[in-house]
Amino acid sequence: MAKASFITPLLDLVFPPRCPLCGDALAQQGGLCAACWMKLAVPGEPACSTCQRPLGDSIVRAGALQCAPCMADPPRHAGIAAATLYNDTSRELVLAFKRGKRIALADLLARLMRSRLPELEGEWLVVPVPLHRWRLWERGFNQSALLAQRIARAVNQPLVVDALERRKRTPSLGGLGKRARAEALRGAIVANQRRAAQLKGANVLLVDDVMTSGATTDACLAALRKAGAGQVRIACFARVLDEALDHAGPDTAALAA
């Protein structure tokens, strides 16, 4: 820690702290300026106790703690923790991280995700959503694995980076409907047989950068359930809600890969 504190002034002199979105000067590295912070849409209350979807005050006064989609089709996960709701600002951060290869943003995104996580009681495995090996080769890194690494460290739980495998290279899911996404992912994600003993009966925190329709996380959930995992919670940086998709346009296609 002392060594890092000693290096920080020199680092700031060579690379003055700047907001990664607008370029304005910052007091220290690794954050956003006040104006950009204000543009992030952080999920608020009241919200669905299961999926974190915002609820109207009238619904809460009626005594409902879950949203209509969760009541109609109860999810197989134990909850979703999203750092932000999808908007232009979160999109810019994710694209800079994933497509712009600004992997230093992983620290910021993971901190925001950690702040939204409930306390994890007992032992958990932190597992990233996998990339197909060819996409991993093209990109050079799995953005979800970088986030999972930092979150595992923050919550003091083991990271199992290869617990899931993406065996089939799927097309970009952007622009596809829910049924088409599910079909594209059929059989694509499986549990790693070498991790079978670890996964059986284990509680899992599944980490992804962006959750769009939920098709990818559903495929991961199915693989984890088949492997005998216990509770599965989902942590993501940006959450695209169904009602937001109508206004997101083609930008969500860039996030879906």
pLDDT at position 56, please? 66
**DSSP β-ladder status, 164-166 and 189-191:** antiparallel
132-188 residue pLDDT tens: 999 899 999 999 999 999 999 999 999 999 999 999 887 676 666 777 777 778 889
Residue % of the chain over a pLDDT of 70? 79
- Report the C-alpha gap between 188 and 167 in whole angstroms: 5
User: Longest Cα pair distance anywhere in the chain, in angstroms?
Assistant: 57
Note the CATH number of domain 40-256: 3.40.50.2020
In terms of C-beta distances under 8 Å and separation of at least 24 residues, what long-range contacts does 156-161 make, across chains too?
157/120, 157/123, 157/124, 157/125, 157/126, 157/205, 158/125, 158/126, 159/125, 159/126, 159/127, 160/125, 160/126, 160/127, 160/195, 160/198, 160/199, 161/127, 161/128
Instruction: Report domain extents, the chain.
Output: 1-37, 40-256
Confidence of residue 243 (pLDDT cuts 50, 70, 90): low
Angle between helices 88-98 and 105-116 (to 10 degrees): 130
**Helix, strand, coil % (nearest 5) of the chain?**
45, 15, 40
Say how many Å lie between the first and final Cα of the chain, rounded. Answer: 37
The pLDDT assigned to 28 comes to: 67
